Structure 1
């Protein structure tokens, strides 16, 4: 079918080549033979009067013209898929939809585990594919390569819709045997101790506490760098080091790892909001609406870990939790319930 001289099937070919970057893989993804794919590439080049792709080994490297066309082509195909091809009714009990979600180990452990359990009961055919948060989440959303992103709201671009899930704040953690956490932690002592810090993504995005310290030209002693919050507790075991992590996750690990939790000696204890973001084109997609509603329902059931703190910590830390709770209330953050 042609539209103003362009065979619209060629847009599918261009989109597949941009995604796969190899002729054979692209042909397989859209059920074409390799000779048919080669012929389609020649027709694309003739229509756009550009090479569109050059060869580097076996990989197709897009030209600037192809790079410029790709976002509009992907958006047009997504619009057709969501508005014309996809069924308007979504029945989760019968669906085999796979949701592709970018989220951290922190969100997985304190929140999404419950979502997976509920979906297994209510929509057993629905599945998930998880990805670590990426630096180019805006492009992944725009291309429809991912269905949902869950991140602290401050890291989210403004080009796609989003909604709040839950709030948390940061605390200082250390091994139960760490003597320097047996009394209230001052900022000076916090800065002088050895730290285990977390960095995220390919660009090594900084944790909120490190961002705060650099903004105020303060430098602490960093002994270990890890790439996920769940690695921090293991790096603190039998050492005098400390780490900074969300309160919800700290309490999650306290159930199995002997740790101390101390009030973070920084203004407002660095509260943050975890939010969910989705492609603008999925805003009215029935499957996306169902999954987002599931997330909102589970987030509304989260209760404060302060209510269960006394069962998890030693008496010396009770005052710390009281102070953290007051700080969270004063800065407007909802302190998580477990």
Structure 2
């Protein structure tokens, strides 16, 4: 079918090429032979009067024109999928939707387990594909390659809708044998001690505490950089190093590791709001809305994190006060 001279099937080919960045893989993904895909590429180039794609060795490189067309083509196809093809009322019990979600190990451990359990009861055919935060979270969301993004709200753009899930604060953690944490931690001692920090994405962007310290031109001693918050506690065992992490996750690990939790000697203990964001095009998608509503409901059921000022300086048997949980 042609629309103003454009064969609309070519949009499907263009989207596959921009997603796979490989002619053979793109052809396979939309059930075309490689000669048919090559013919589609030739027709795309002719219609748009642009090379669209070039090769540098084995690297598939889209031209600026192709990059500009990619988001529009993906949005058009998603709109057809959501508003024309997926016209039946949503029934969770019959859905086989696979949700692609960017989230941290922190959210997975302290929050999403309960979401998966509930989804299994209400929609046993629904599945999840968890992906770690990257350097191009917003681009993946824009292209529709992920369904949801769950991050601290401060790291989200205003380009897509979002809503709050829950609040948390940061705390300092160390091994229970770390004698430097046996008394209130001063800012000077915090900065001088060896740190285990988490880095996100390919460039290992550091967390909220590093953002605060850089703003005030402060630099701490970083001994180890890990790829997730869950890797911080094991790196502290039997050492004098410390780490900075969300309180909810610290309390989770304090139940299974000799971890002590102390106040973070930074202003307001770096509170943050964890939020969920989705592509604007999915705002009225009933399946996405069903999951988003579930996330908000489960987030509202989380108890407020204990105020950092109430944390024990000398933790008990498990590194925390049982009354805190």
TM-score where L is the length of structure 2: 0.93
Q: What does residue range 87-126 of structure 1 map to in structure 2 within 5 Å? A: 87-126=87-126
How do 1:265-276 and structure 2 match up within 5 A? 265-276=265-276
Native 8 Å contact 2:90 2:286 kept in 1:
yes
Q: Which moved more, 1:175-184 or 1:197-206?
A: 197-206
**Conservation of the 8 A alpha-carbon contact between 2:174 and 2:243:** yes
Contact 1:262/1:317, CA 8 A, preserved across alignment: no
1:283 is aligned to 283
C-alpha change, 1:256 and 1:305, in structure 2 (3 Å) is: farther
- Matched residue SS, 1:93: helix
1:64-103 pair list within 5 angstroms: 64-103=64-103
Output aligned runs, 1:258-269, within 5 Å: 258-269=258-269
Count of residues in Structure 1 that have an aligned counterpart in Structure 2? 322
Residue-by-residue CA offset, 1:200-242 (whole Å, 9 max, x unaligned): 1112212111111111111111111111110110111011111
The CA distance in 1 between the partners of 2:239 and 2:156, in whole Å, is 35
Kept in 2, the 8 Å contact 1:194–1:240? The answer is yes
The counterpart of 1:314, out of the listed 280, 291, 316, is 316
Aligned equivalent of 2:191 = 191
Residue 148 of structure 1 pairs with residue 148 of structure 2: yes
The offset of 1:60, in angstroms, is 3.4
Query: In the alignment, which residue of structure 1 is the partner of 2:232?
Result: 232
**After the TM superposition, which of the residue ranges 54-63 and 75-84 deviates more from structure 2?**
54-63
Give the Cα–Cα distance (whole angstroms) in 2 for the partners of residues 313 and 117 of structure 1: 32
> What is aligned with 2:299?
299
Q: What TM-score comes out, normalization by structure 1 length?
A: 0.90
Which residue does the alignment assign to 2:214?
A: 214
**Alpha-carbon distance between aligned partners in 2 of 1:109 and 1:178, rounded to the nearest angstrom:** 25
Runs of 5+ in structure 2 lacking a partner? none
1-side partners of 2:43 and 2:200: how far apart?
43
How much does 1:83 deviate?
1.3
Aligned to 1:157: 157
Alignment partner of 1:246 is 2:246? yes
Q: Is the 8 A contact 2:134 2:201 kept in 1?
A: yes
Matches of 1:55 and 1:117, distance apart in 2: 46
Could you tell me how far 1:58 is from its partner in structure 2?
A: 4.6
CA pair 75-318 structure 1, distance change in 2 beyond 3 A: closer
Q: Using the alignment, how far apart are the partners of 1:147 and 1:258 within structure 2?
A: 37
Cα distance in structure 2, aligned partners of 1:110 and 1:123 = 21
What root-mean-square deviation, in Å, do the aligned CA atoms of Structure 1 and Structure 2 show? 2.3
How far 1:113 sits from its partner (Å)? 1.0
SS of 1:284's partner is: coil
Whole-angstrom distance in 2 between the partners of 1:59 and 1:264: 46
